[in-house]
Structures are given as structure tokens and as C-alpha cells.
């Protein structure tokens, strides 16, 4: 019975959250039950990711986790774009990027480092990740600078945004070809879960099925939880910028937080890094550009202009994450440094 206790709690919390949402319960009940449900769903996604990583390797397993996790965020963001809530979308994208680079990676490195004195991952991946993160920053900074130039019209703004969006998407797709196909051996994992003699709980097909199922559950619970945030945050006097960049981002990435930390604590820091940094890169180089292209289909183009506050937060996050991950090794104190920067940004966003 104890073996199935987690799954019983998973199903019960999910159903209660659904009942409270569709049954019109009070917002506080909806928020509490959804928050509880997302913890169990995050754990389920973590187990599925770990099982997939056993068969596919740490890099591909981490990539699949980041992709499925971001798919839920992309779907929710598309609906926000359709409603024209561009500022909220950009704030949530900013929060997702800095949350993955600082909070997810920080917790993974800290908790993994407390158990293992030093953890290692492929140094080649670290170098390429650093370069890609810098490119993402360039793609966001250039429009902010050039649009302020004289005679730069709205039409030119939209053209620049669409052009950069296309370039970033092509760059990300070519990175996947480079890392997963042409140079796969160069960027292969140094170790896999099989090296530790672990047996996955499910078969390969069942692992993938549960990964998809967990992602769908995350999408539902996250949407239910986000739906309660306006009332919840208004009651506590939180700003829209803080809610978008921190509250929504933390909730939306809860599953990835859990999976990355679980991997790091089992000395699979390669998968944890792929989930954290890989997810940030995917958001900056793929999700954000796709949302710009989608907004055009809805008849109103969302530009790629982020506020100075958002750009500063992203640049600071990239700088510290690059500094810590560039040597392919991590320890618990580096995790502390990442979390300290996240707290600094959190306080600043809260006071805006």
C-alpha cells in the first residue's frame, strides 16, 4: 500500500483541484488545492523524466523534460497573446528565463552539492550553452537599443522583431541538429543512470507515455492555479510585474524544479543542467520568437522589446550562470550564489 501512496495522493489532489476549479469553490480553496496538486504532479513528471533519461541518456532526458514543460507554458502564453496581454507575456517569459537559470539551477547545484562534494558534466556543453545564452541576450538587447533611434517607425519595429524572431528560431533548430545529430558523440553524457546500477520503474514506451501524461496534468493544474492568481495577489497587494516574472514563472516551472533537483541529488547533474539552462535557452531562442510569429497571425504583432528592468534581470542571470557553469563542475556554494542573485532580483521586482 505504501508503494502506491504517492500515486493515490497524485490522483486525489488532481481530482480535488479540478473539482474546486470547475465547481466554483472559493479562490483560496482553488489556490491551495492547485498548489498541493502541482507538487505531486511535479514529482510524477520528475519520475517520468528520470525513467526516460535511463533509456535516452541525461542530455536527451533533460531536453525532453524542458520541452514538455515549456510546451505547457507556450500554450498558456498563446492564449494570453490572443487576448493582447503582451506585457504579462513578456514578464512571464523573463521570469521563466531567470527562474530556470537562478532558482532551478541554484537549487539543483546546492542540494546536489550538499550530497556530493563536486559534480561534473560535459564541459563542451557548458561552453556552447554559455555562447547560446549570450546570443539570446544579444537578440533581446539589439531591438531595445535600435528602436529608440530617430525615425524608427512602428512598422520597422515589427519588421525587426519578426526578423530577429526568425533568426533565433533557425539558430535554435540548427543547435538541435548540431548537438543531437552531427556532434552527438562530442556532447554525449559522461555517465548515465545505468552506470549506477539503477533499474527504471517502467519500460521505455511506458516512460514516454507517462512523461506526456504528466505534462498534460501540469498544463491543467498550472492553468487552474494561474487563474486564481489575480484575486490572490490583489489581496496581498503584489504588482503585475512581480506576479508575471516571479509568481507565475515559479508555478509554471514547478515541475522542472522538481525534476532537476531530483536528478542533481542522484549525481546526474548533466540532466539537471540540461533541464535548467536548456529550458532557458528554449524559451529565449524558440518560445519567445514563436509567440511573436503567432501574434502576427492574430492580427497584432507583439514586438520583441523588453523593458530595461527585464533586460537587466536576464543579462545578470546569464552572466552569473555562465560564470558558474563554464568549467563543467559545480559545488554547493555555487548554488548558494545563484540563489542569492535570484533573491536580489526578487526583492527589486517586488519593490517596483
Concatenated DSSP letters for 192-221? -GGGGT---SS-HHHHHHHHHHHHHHHHHH
153 closest CA partner among 326, 49, 303, 297? 303
How does pLDDT run across 175-188, given as a tens digit for each residue?
989 988 887 777 76
Rounded Cα gap, residues 320 and 348, in angstroms:
17
Longest dimension (CA), the chain: 70
Percent of the chain at pLDDT exceeding 70 = 90
Rounded Cα gap, residues 276 and 65, in angstroms:
10
List C-alpha distances in Å: 98 to 41, 221, 225. 23, 22, 21
* pLDDT for position 315: 92
How does pLDDT run across 50-77, given as a tens digit for each residue?
788 777 776 677 677 777 767 767 777 7
Contact 271, 53 (CB under 8 A): yes
* pLDDT for position 169: 93
Contact 306, 95 (CB under 8 A): no
Backbone angles phi, psi at 289, to 5 degrees: -60, -40
Which of residues 257 and 285 earns the better pLDDT score?
285
CA atoms within 13 A on the CB side of 64: 25
Task: Report the pLDDT averaged over residues 74-91.
Answer: 79
Which residues, at least 6 apart from 23, have a Cβ–Cβ distance to it below 8 Å? Answer: none
64 closest CA partner among 76, 75, 51, 77? 51
Mean pLDDT of all residues belonging to the chain: 83
Question: What pTM did the predictor assign?
Answer: 0.79
Amino acid at each position: 500500500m505504501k508503494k502506491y501512496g504517492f500515486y493515490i495522493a497524485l490522483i486525489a489532489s488532481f481530482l480535488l483541484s479540478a473539482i474546486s476549479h470547475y465547481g466554483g469553490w472559493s479562490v483560496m480553496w482553488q489556490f491551495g488545492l492547485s498548489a498541493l496538486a502541482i507538487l505531486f504532479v511535479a514529482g510524477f513528471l520528475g519520475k517520468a523524466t528520470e525513467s526516460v533519461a535511463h533509456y535516452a541518456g541525461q542530455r536527451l532526458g533533460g531536453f525532453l523534460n524542458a520541452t514538455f514543460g515549456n510546451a505547457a507554458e507556450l500554450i498558456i502564453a498563446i492564449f494570453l497573446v490572443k487576448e493582447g496581454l503582451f506585457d504579462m507575456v513578456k514578464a512571464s517569459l523573463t521570469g521563466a528565463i531567470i527562474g530556470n537559470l537562478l532558482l532551478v539551477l541554484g537549487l539543483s547545484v546546492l542540494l546536489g552539492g550538499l550530497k556530493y562534494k563536486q559534480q561534473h558534466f560535459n564541459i563542451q556543453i557548458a561552453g556552447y550553452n554559455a555562447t547560446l545564452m549570450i546570443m539570446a541576450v544579444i537578440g533581446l538587447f539589439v531591438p531595445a537599443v535600435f528602436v529608440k533611434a530617430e525615425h524608427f517607425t512602428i512598422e520597422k519595429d515589427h519588421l525587426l522583431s519578426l526578423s530577429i524572431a526568425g533568426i533565433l528560431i533557425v539558430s535554435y533548430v540548427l543547435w538541435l541538429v548540431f548537438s543531437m545529430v552531427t556532434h552527438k558523440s562530442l556532447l554525449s553524457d559522461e555517465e548515465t543512470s545505468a552506470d549506477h546500477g539503477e533499474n527504471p520503474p517502467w519500460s521505455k514506451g511506458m516512460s514516454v507515455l507517462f512523461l506526456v501524461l504528466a505534462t498534460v496534468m501540469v498544463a491543467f493544474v498550472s492553468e487552474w492555479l494561474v487563474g486564481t492568481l489575480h484575486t490572490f495577489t490583489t489581496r496581498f497587494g503584489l504588482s503585475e510585474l512581480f506576479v508575471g516574472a516571479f509568481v507565475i514563472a515559479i508555478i509554471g516551472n514547478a515541475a522542472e524544479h522538481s525534476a532537476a533537483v531530483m536528478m542533481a541529488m542522484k549525481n546526474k547533474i548533466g540532466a539537471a543542467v540540461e533541464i535548467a539552462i536548456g529550458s532557458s535557452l528554449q524559451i529565449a531562442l524558440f518560445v519567445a520568437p514563436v509567440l511573436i510569429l503567432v501574434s502576427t497571425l492574430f492580427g497584432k504583432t507583439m514586438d520583441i522589446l523588453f523593458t530595461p528592468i527585464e533586460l537587466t534581470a536576464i543579462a545578470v542571470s546569464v552572466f552569473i550562470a555562465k560564470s558558474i557553469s563554464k568549467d563543467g563542475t559545480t559545488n554547493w556554494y555555487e548554488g548558494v550564489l545563484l540563489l542569492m542573485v535570484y533573491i536580489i532580483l526578487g526583492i527589486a521586482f517586488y519593490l517596483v
